Chain A
């Protein structure tokens, strides 16, 4: 606890290193490795061949083993660095391996076969990016179509979420009416109910509304988020009622008050909700997977799941496409980042 307050109290004009500075930097650098490391590794792994992906010990960078064409052999042979009996090392090409012994040849003098214990040889490897992990799916995978569907779902759902949630939040924060606490109670009570729990009945509703295999079947169930109403209402409570009363004196209609006064003042909170909504809808997987089973309707997340077969999963494609699908969300974050802190600051403060 003392440490914590020290942090806050610490002022500019560094004296010598206080131990809290050490803690700070250990925490930050540790955080950098733990938070970023896995993602960087994921990005590198997406360039690995299927064989390299399955290999242990795993490598950070994508490697392939070097091969060389040797006279007298039809196929390119794999190159190894072998330890010779006299202690020197030499680059040799492996002809074949029988048990513990590898038969190898010198690529420059392919006549003579050298026998090397397999423990004494290490493959010669070079960094190589398997870009076909990216290019193949792009050709056999209707990427633009899926991208469009994802964008459509994300943008539409986010817009509707912002509009209907902010309207509801406005009503719940700025009006006194009968049933207000009840409405608030119902919304808050369902805050915690996850979609996966109501999946069975929701599916039958979607199905009877004819929204099955329809992008609206993905959009509509997600837009009336209790979380959004909750966040926006908390923020709107901070807007002084005097502003609204003054507007009413000026004969502004309620819709104008909502649109001209309340919404602009709620902008930071709306930005936060927008970011969340984009991230949530973009990454939605389970529900779209259930509702959409036609190729032309797939979102990106559903599209990349087709590489999971019954018996095998084609990880190299999944990884590559995962990296591609991450890019738009990261871009949105970079653009809206400046709103996040201010927006969040407001939602917490009452």
Chain B
């Protein structure tokens, strides 16, 4: 790669005022550093992010907790009355916890169940599909960057567009039925079938996001030294064993990142599905985020307190999940270092 391409030169020209700005910023910061010492600078670096984060992420979470203790349909806290744990009680009023229909808030528990199965299946499949694609892209391919772009491209689309495209394909008068019709197969209403709709939400979300995970895994594969494989081949090691003993362990850090990111995305699933199925048929693709959004914000039966209580419960589960993952990750890290 040529080191001084035109863009680079243009870049350095643009950077000149930025460098100047940074130098100016350095003057007061040096003074601060003198006062606080090197260790104290950590706080300075952390401050802007934590300030914004505190106001726009943490504070809402705290306020949400307060909301969850209030009742009424008013939107602003000042006009809401304190009801204690009533909203939580309402969420947990069930005669049988395994049957969402026996609960007072049946939609909530249906959404919990749907989200659970969605996350489990989607993440598993997603990793499988991404890994296969990455392995294929890691072969000696002509025009590899083209193929990489093909699989990555849906990542660039907005979730709303993704939902729309697939709705047009899957609806009764859509492209899929048209294709089947050419082969003499009767049109089928995919989006009114509970099972197919659930599968569709999984498939579409994989379609939309797999490119990112494929790239992360591909990067990992390419970083594995080739001579390891050559040595293994020389020893006559079986391919399956090579994959288990060399590829997988060396890919582990990338796999961890993929699992973390895929889980986050899967749990947050909302826009695509909202456009694609609207949560239907019935409530078969109603996921937690949509339930919370609709209850809190959109529905004609708006109840911000209930939505807040649901989101607090969801948040608790998520935090536990994240911590477990990090625990696993950290253990792996330590093992790697030893």
Contact = CB atoms under 8 A, between A and B. Distances in A.
The answer to whether A and B touch in the complex, with CB atoms under 8 Å apart, is yes
A45 B159 CA distance: 19
A5 B52 contact: no
A28 B29 CA distance: 53
B293 A196 contact: yes
Interface residues of B, number: 120
Contacts of A180: 42
Contacts of A5: 239-240, 242-243, 247
B137 to A, nearest CB: 9
A154 interface: no
A241 B338 CA distance: 19
Given A201-B67, A220-B56, A175 B42 contact: yes
Contacts of B260: 191, 230
Interface in A190-210: 190-194, 196-205
B331 interface: no
A112 B29 CA distance: 93
* Interface secondary structure of B, over-half rule: helix
A34 interface: yes
B164 interface: yes
Q: How large is the interface on A (under 10, 10 to 19, 20 to 34, 35 or more residues)?
A: 35 or more
A190 B58 contact: yes
B173 A56 contact: yes
Contacts, number: 311
A16 B212 CA distance: 33
A193 B52 contact: no
Contacts of B29: 253-255
Contacts of A39: 153-154, 157, 165
B109 interface: no
Nearest to A193: B315
Contacts of B58: 186, 190
A290 B168 CA distance: 26
Interface stretch (A80-88, A91-99, A101-109, A162-170): A162-170
A-B interface, 3 closest residue pairs, ranked by CB to CB distance from nearest: A283-B158, A345-B219, A348-B254
Given A201-B60, A254-B41, A341-B222, 20 more contacts: A1-B239, A8-B242, A31-B150, A35-B207, A38-B169, A57-B173, A58-B173, A168-B46, A171-B46, A193-B61, A198-B60, A201-B59, A204-B76, A221-B57, A226-B53, A227-B264, A230-B260, A254-B38, A341-B218, A349-B223
